[in-house]
Structure 1
């Protein structure tokens, strides 16, 4: 049989058509193996062979017609096989595309989760920074209060020490002046040599 109706890649869906083509091929002396031998050839090669047969004056018209039918059957078979291969390629590409879409969705999900985590970390860091700045301002204010108090205490102590120092100087000056004034206030006595005698 030249065309196998049970072959899903034969390209024919009507049994009557397949029977007619097979009858034409077999009646006119074309080998039943012609179909299977031509399976791997390209359409260009098949067309050249058909041209060679059609232009050969030694080949009968019935054989030329059978070869034409056979070439038609092979062309349909090749087209059907190409269609199935293309469908498989399209399915493979669609599967790859679906896989890529799934992968992209997973990546997008991961990126979104990372972005959300970064946003939360950023918000947390900003909050902590604000708290730290507030604490720092409080510490600076407390430091300024302590510094002012320290300066006031040091100023008071300095004033007291200055006052105490001046008081001591006055006392010392008074202490030094008192004997001199006392000595100046006592009338001078004349001492004779006899005054030493008891």
Structure 2
């Protein structure tokens, strides 16, 4: 069975050009699912696409007019196409001439996997560079302490007096876990 999927991002846009192209490619209008949702939303969070994928069976084909109709980033698109091909569902991307039932389509998947890996590596490098830059500029990273240094010292003193975690949490107006961490912070920082 051949299915089509057409997506636009906003209410001002229309799916009609995509639907017309899918019909020209021989897909029955009642087998075309449409959606108005941003491409940045993961495929599994798009109701129409998710429903379509769930109902497709081995041997079926999913056709889209453009690759970006499936998603904006290579990682998400590759994940979706991998999921489909593992279920023996073919994917056709009309503007690229890609059909995963053919060798050239499988080659495309290999290239897309390479781009997705490259994209992940670039994101990782940018994150590391941003963290190093922030550290170099004296910006403290991580979650801010709920308790002041004085409150943490008070928690350690209360621990030495034999107070329970629950008592310290109540006195400091914080959670038991935060109180426990404060009570034991001297031990944690020594190692």
Which range, TM-score by smaller chain? under 0.3
Which is bigger in relative contact order (C-alpha 8 A, separation at least 6)? 1
Task: Return the TM-score normalized by structure 1.
Answer: 0.27
TM-score w.r.t. structure 2 length? 0.28
Kindly name which structure, 1 or 2, has the bigger radius of gyration based on alpha carbons.
1
Q: Which of the pair is proportionally richer in strand?
A: 2
